Chain A
Amino acid sequence: MDRVPVLKLGDILIVSIQIDLQDQSVLALQEDLADKVVQTGARGVIIDITAVEIIDSFIGRMLSTIASITRLLDAETVVVGMRPAVAITLVELGLSLGGVRTALNLEKGVALLNHLDGARLAVAPR
């Protein structure tokens, strides 16, 4: 089974999916990310799916689950780089990716995380 690498950049974890995801790799990624968020105290996770050609119900559910898990661990997840054909197909499949934040690209994803963090700091300084 191929494992998707998780990179750390400042207080953001970055996952760039470059392989055709097999179900086990998806489940492993979920666990790796949860561990890494706690280990590093990351405040955000970016999942870059620029290279992902399809999202089916399994992978879609995984993205929602990862977003929920990291939120419980005090980190926001942003999915970036979704291809237009993937978005069209997801909607027709019936998947809304509830609770998953998206941004068009990595740069906008980082900006979104900074913005969210700024809003959070304004409410509860830490």
Chain B
Amino acid sequence: MTSSGELPINGNGDVVLVRQEVRAAALEAGLSLVDQTKIVTAASELARNALVYAGGGRVRIEIVRNGVRAGLRLTFSDDGPGIPDIEQALVDGWTTGNGLGLGLSGSRRLVDEFDLRSAPGEGTLITVTKWAR
């Protein structure tokens, strides 16, 4: 780990800020333009989910290393209601709101590593990583 920072997600403006900070970090990690675009899009989905379903949360942005490879890791956490059925939440089109149900499943496709931990009443923790090629 070479650098890290944490950002609050408490309003719509914060979702925009998260996208901008993730873009800057992705550039610093050496991700290609397409990979930058993918992880910024995933970050936008996960930040909005934290805001909409948990009333807010935070994201830690870290540049990580695996041998010679650099990558970008984002850890979203919130203290919201949690997700009762994680498998179901990851199905394309599943939504309890009025979205398209693509945020979680789509984000998983856009990154290299995706880890979701959640339980009812215990909030949600999602870690995603994208490695430079």
Contact = CB atoms under 8 A, between A and B. Distances in A.
A89 B20 contact: no
Contacts of B33: 85
B13 A57 contact: no
A92 B12 contact: no
B23 interface: yes
A84 B45 CA distance: 20
Given A93-B109, A94-B105, A56 B34 contact: no
Interface string A39-58: 00000000000000111111
A53 B106 contact: no
B106 A57 contact: yes
B41 A55 contact: yes
Interface string A72-107: 000000000001111011001111000000000000
Interface string B1-32: 00000000000110110011001000000000
A11 interface: no
Contact of A92 (B16, B36, B106): B106
A56 B110 contact: no
Nearest to A88: B34
Given A53-B37, A54-B40, A61-B100, A22 B15 contact: yes
Given A92-B110, A93-B109, A95-B102, A56 B48 contact: yes
Contacts of A94: 92, 100, 102, 105-106, 109
Contacts of A21: 16
A1 to B, nearest CB: 8
B115 to A, nearest CB: 19
Nearest to A26: B12
A58 B103 CA distance: 9
Interface of B: 12-13, 15-16, 19-20, 23, 33-34, 36-38, 40-41, 44-45, 48, 92, 99-100, 102-103, 105-107, 109-110
